[in-house]
Amino acid sequence: MSQETPIARKQYLTPFNVITGVILVIGLVLTVLRFTKGIGAVTNLDNNNPWGLWIGFDLLCGVALAAGGYMTSSACYIFGLKKYHSAVRPAILTAFLGYALVVFALHYDVGRPWRLPYPIFWSQGTSSLLFEVGLCVFLYLTVLFIEWTPAAFEWLGYKKIRGIVVRLTLMLTIFGVVLSTLHQSSLGALFMIAPSKLHPLWYSGYLHVYFFVSSMFAGLSMVIFESTLAHRWLHHKMDDTHLAESDGVALGFGKAASFIMMGYVGIKIIGLAVDNDWHYLATGWGAWFLVELVGFVLLPAILFSMGAREKNLTFIRVAAVWAVLGIVLNRLNVSLIAFNWHLPAADRYVPSIMEVGTTIFIVTLGVVVYRFIALKMPILYEHPDYKQAH
């Protein structure tokens, strides 16, 4: 698609457009079903399994994988790693879209979506970790939106207001890190209220720490992964700076991810020791736990470190996809697979085809909007009028 000539671009029946079109139509049908027949008609949720794929994937994975926004912007603007500057805009954009889609997906999952502002503006349940999540996601979505606006203002040519927003960069970045720390961790802490339902290998007093630390390498890996995709499809939109810096971004982020993942493995082992959960490792659940921790954290971490040492971009890119899958596996384990583990098999939850369809619809929507913005606005390149302006 990236190679389209101006003539070919006028053809609307490209494979990309046809597939996304079909998915979007199916999504609209599912939306109508959800809001006419009820959540029960499109999902396999029940009274024992109140949260399913829409929370486990759309919310938990969506938020974790959008962590690239705060990781990249803090690396560049706070920790002074200026060489990552060209990676900030795409990361902020994907984070903004990621969070926007998380909130969008919640409209399907909660019973009365128009009441979603209630916890913030009407009746604050401050004892709830979900309140913390809601407030932080609301505020962070606002921060990400403001952080993204300079790109839109450059596109529209509003120089003055762009200048004002750019001057807020440091404050917004710090605010973003604070909010991300809080809600990334409290997404894990949500499950700390139910020790009787979550398998001991995943339940821990450190669950919030695990979620926060893993969000760091989730974000880094996702930035690498997205950059791989963008190079494949949006190469023509990248300027020389972006192209020159992107290998360095991948290598640097891969190295950082490797370090954080090793640390994460360490604190997971400490968690096992603190709760004395060693004996569970010999069970089937233990094997599954090791698949997650060794197979999807330790091994990609090693591949990252090899890639960083040998400057091998293929290693880095494979490790990034691997680590992203590991994050998805972890979030699904905590919220769905190891949750309600004590229930008999007949009472366990498996997502319905319509739930999966809705999730695919929402992810597709994200890809379409990202593609639109990256094609129109200065995301992968610097606007010629603002080259010196940072």
Q: Where along the sequence are the contacts to other proteins (CB under 8 A)?
A: 34-41, 43, 45-48, 50-51, 74, 77-80, 109-113, 115-116, 118-119, 122-132, 134, 170, 173-175, 177-178, 181-182, 185-186, 189-197, 205, 207-208
Q: Considering the complex, what minimum distance in angstroms separates the CB of residue 255 from other proteins?
A: 19
List the one residue out of 223, 180, 241, 185 whose CA is nearest residue 92.
223
Question: Strand, coil or helix: what is 198?
Answer: strand
State how far the Cα of 113 lies from the Cα of 161, in Å rounded to an integer.
33
User: Cβ of residue 236: shortest distance to other proteins, in angstroms?
Assistant: 34
d(CA 72, CA 75): 5
Minimal distance, residue 278 CB to other proteins, in Å: 18
110: number of Cβ within 10 Å: 14
DSSP class per residue in 119-167: HHHT---TT-HHHHHHHHHHHHHHHHHHHHHHHHHHHHT-HHHHHHHHH
The CB-of-39 to other proteins minimum distance in angstroms stands at 5
Let me know: does 75 contact 81? Beta carbons within 8 Å. Answer: yes
Question: For residue 300, which of 272, 260, 266, 273 has the smallest C-alpha distance?
Answer: 260
Q: How far apart are CA 351 and CA 373, in angstroms?
A: 32
Task: Determine how many CB atoms are found less than 10 A away from the CB of residue 308.
Answer: 22
> Residue 180 or 305: which CB sits closer to other proteins?
180
Q: How far apart are CA 375 and CA 368, in angstroms?
A: 11
Instruction: Choose between 168 and 243: whose C-beta lies nearer to other proteins.
Output: 168
Q: Nearer Cβ to other proteins, position 24 or 78?
A: 78
CB of 81 to other proteins, least distance (A): 9
Tell the smallest beta-carbon distance from residue 45 to other proteins (Å): 6
Joined together, the tokens standing for residue 236 give: 């023509």
How many CA atoms within 13 Å lie on the side-chain side of 151?
24
The nearest distance, CB 217 to other proteins, in angstroms, is 19
Q: Which is nearer to other proteins, 174 or 302 (CB)?
A: 174
Nearer to other proteins, 340 or 364 (CB): 340
- With 0-12 CB in 10 A as exposed, 13-18 as middle and 19+ as buried, what is 191? buried
Q: How far is the CB of 109 from other proteins (least distance, A)?
A: 8
Q: Least distance (Å) from other proteins to the CB of residue 146?
A: 17
Nearer Cβ to other proteins, position 98 or 176?
A: 176
Residue 129 or 298: the one with the smaller Cβ distance to other proteins is 129
- Which CB, 34 or 317, lies closer to other proteins? 34
In the complex with other proteins, which residue's Cβ is closer, 9 or 37? Answer: 37
**Residue 339 forms beta bridges with which residues?**
198
